Every structure is written in structure tokens, then in C-alpha cells.
Amino acid sequence: MTASNDHLFGVYARAPIEVERGQGVRLYDRHGRSWLDFVQGIATNGLGHAAPVLVEAVRKQSEKLWHVSNIFTIPEQGELADKLCAASFADKVFFTNSGTEAVECALKLARKYHAARGNEERIDIIGFEGAFHGRTYAAVTAAGNETYLKGFGPRLPGFVHLSLDDHEAIRAAAEAPTAAAILVEPVQGEGGARALTDAELTLLRELCDANGLLLIFDEIQCGMGRSGKLWAYEYSGVTPDVMCVAKALGGGFPVGACLATEDAASGMVVGSHGSTFGGNPMAMAVGLAAFGEISSPELLDNVRKQAGYLKQQLEGLKQTWPDMIEEIRGRGLLVGIKVKPNNREIMTLARDNGLLIAGGSDNCVRLLPPLNVTEDECREAIGLLEKTFEAARAAAKQKEQA
């Protein structure tokens, strides 16, 4: 029986696929058709669909303990927090259910940091064009995307939105007496797969240090191995004070985290924040299993290897299909292709040809395969992209002749 979906909020422009199961890089619908899935829950299934190590973690934990309130000690929280801190700049961790909740925690942390020092006027969060930080009210206000804000009334106060290219405006905003923090994605995902330069990140770090601001990195999409290193900030050597992670941290299970230095987290005292489900035993069991796999040198080596292969092949496609591809972007296996036809048209044609790809701003499409993707699977994706471009070119000619 096919569900009508009549009783669901109509907030999603859903693709016409009734998903049933997945295995590795493949996604199957209820009628048995399969696709090469280079969306993977939008960079969430870091180990692919139904990864055996995660299935086993869920099975074992489901027979033991699912949920308990955070009024009790959950030992696995400490274990995963220890691993995250040992592998990053951080000293403290707060676990959430999602990326946008991790962002909410970071925003509250930044303001509480200054309030605890007697500077309650310091509330401004400086963000940038092209950002995406989630769908809660504060997260969409922090990103400033008009599409996600329209119709929801006034924006929350204390948020500044600037262009990454306007260094004078960034400097002025950081020097303002009400400035609290700078929030940025080292590699923008939805914003067009733009990787910030080392110089851009260094400037933000210097401005924070000079003016007493906290630097917050949103690595919800670009972190957890997606870039080819465990954290995308490692390429620049610029470390944040606070970092938001999620997506691949749970490999498809809802897990997020806000990481911070001890100093940055000093205002987050008893009663200042909390979560019902965040960090529950089931989530921690899956998070530990996912982190163990993704942080391994072998998997990170694979990300870099396959990213190099995809970039080489895509640059070749750009030469062959100049009417289709304008620019190749991104870092690691967060791959962006700025296309010349409408990106939604390319996504539809790719789906028709058996390849699932994600969209993005600036007329981009994104390739977000699992981090354990093989070269054969990447080669298959390149072939399906060629078929997609052939179909797009044929459709364009047909329009011209009509």
C-alpha cells in the first residue's frame, strides 16, 4: 500500500522516489529500482547505507539501554567526548541530536561567555553570505538567507551578515563593542561548495584574537572526514574556539555536538543549557562506532584518494562539456560543480540516469558520496554524469528547434 502523504506538512519538494532500503552507496526504492547515491542523506551517511559496524552498534545497544535522562551519568558520553577532544582543539563537548542544535548551543555559549565576564552587551554574531547553519529560528537568522526567513516575522536581534570579500566591513563589525563571535563554515556546503582560503580563515582568527571574540566553525557538513582530514580547519592550521559537528558523526543516526575550548565553554554552567535526547546511550553507541571508523588513517586516505580521482575526472569533463560545467569546487568529497543549465534540471536528469546528486546555491550541484566510496563507484558516477550532460544537451537542442 502506498501512503498518500496527505497528512504531512507540505514543506519538502520531494523527488519522486519512495525509498525502501540502502546498501553502501546504493539506494533502492519500493519497486526495486536502484540508484548510485551521491547524496547520502546530504553528507550524513559517512559510511554509506546500512554500514555493518553501525548496524551492529545499534543492535547491541538496543538490547541494553536506549534512553535515559541527562540527570544521570551516561559513561559513553565521556568516552566519545574524550575521543573528540583528543582529535581536535577542544576541551569540552555538549551532545545534541542535530547540527542545528549544535549551532544553537554555540550561539548561546558565545553570548554566555561574554555575559559571564560582565559584558552582556556583547551579543552580535557575525555571519556571511552563502552560509547555512540549519533551520531553527536562531540558525536561519545567523545564516541570513532570505528564502528561509521570509514570512516568519522579524529577525532575531544581534546578528550581522557580511560578504566574505568585504574585509573592511568584517573588520569594522569585529571591532564593534557589541560583537561576540564570528560564525563561519570552512567549506560552505549549501552555499555553493565554496572552500574558504587560508588567508580568509587567518584574517577571521586574527580579528577574533584582537577584539576578544570567539571564532565558531560550523563543520557540520565539511567535518568528520569529509574534507580528507578529520576536520576541515586542519588544512589552514587555523583553530576555532568553538566548533559544531553532526551529520557523519552518527553515520545517519541523529547525533550532533558542540565542541569548545575550556575558556570558551566557561559560561556554560549547571542549568545554562540542556537536552532531553542529546547524548543518549543509543546515540553515543552509534557515534563511537562511526567515529572509530571515520577517524582511521585508512579511511581518511581513501577520502583524499577518491577526491583526487573525482577532481581529475571532473576537470576532464569540464573540457569535454564546456556548455555544461562552469567550475569545479569544494574540498575532499564535498564536491561542487557549478553548472550552466539550471541545476535542478541537471539533478532531475541525473536521477533519471541512475545517479543521485544534491543541489546548492550559485547554481551548483554537489557530489557527496560515502567516505568509503571506491574508485569503481566514482568511475560509475562520472559515466552517469556524462549521460546526464548528453541528455541536457539534447534537451537544450530540442528547445532551440521548438
Q: Would you name the residues annotated as active-site residues?
A: 132, 218, 247
Do residues 222 and 235 touch, judged by C-beta distance below 8 A? no
- Number of C-beta neighbours around residue 234 at 10 A: 16
**Per DSSP, what are the bridge partners of residue 260?**
92, 242
Give me the sign of the Cα torsion angle 246, 251, 255, 258. negative
B/e letters for 3-18, b = 16+ CB within 10 Å, e = fewer, are: eeeeeeeeeeeeeeee
Instruction: Give the helix/strand (H/E) hosting 103.
Output: helix 99-115
The grid cell for 217 is 566553525
Name the DSSP class of 359. E
The grid cell for 348 is 532531475
Name the DSSP class of 194. P
**Per DSSP, what are the bridge partners of residue 160?**
126
**Per DSSP, what are the bridge partners of residue 195?**
187
Nearest to 147 by CA among 196, 113, 191, 114: 191
Nearest to 125 by CA among 101, 113, 139, 142: 142
Instruction: Give the helix/strand (H/E) hosting 179.
Output: strand 179-184
Q: Sheet containing 26-29: give its strands across.
A: 19-23, 26-29, 34-37, 355-356
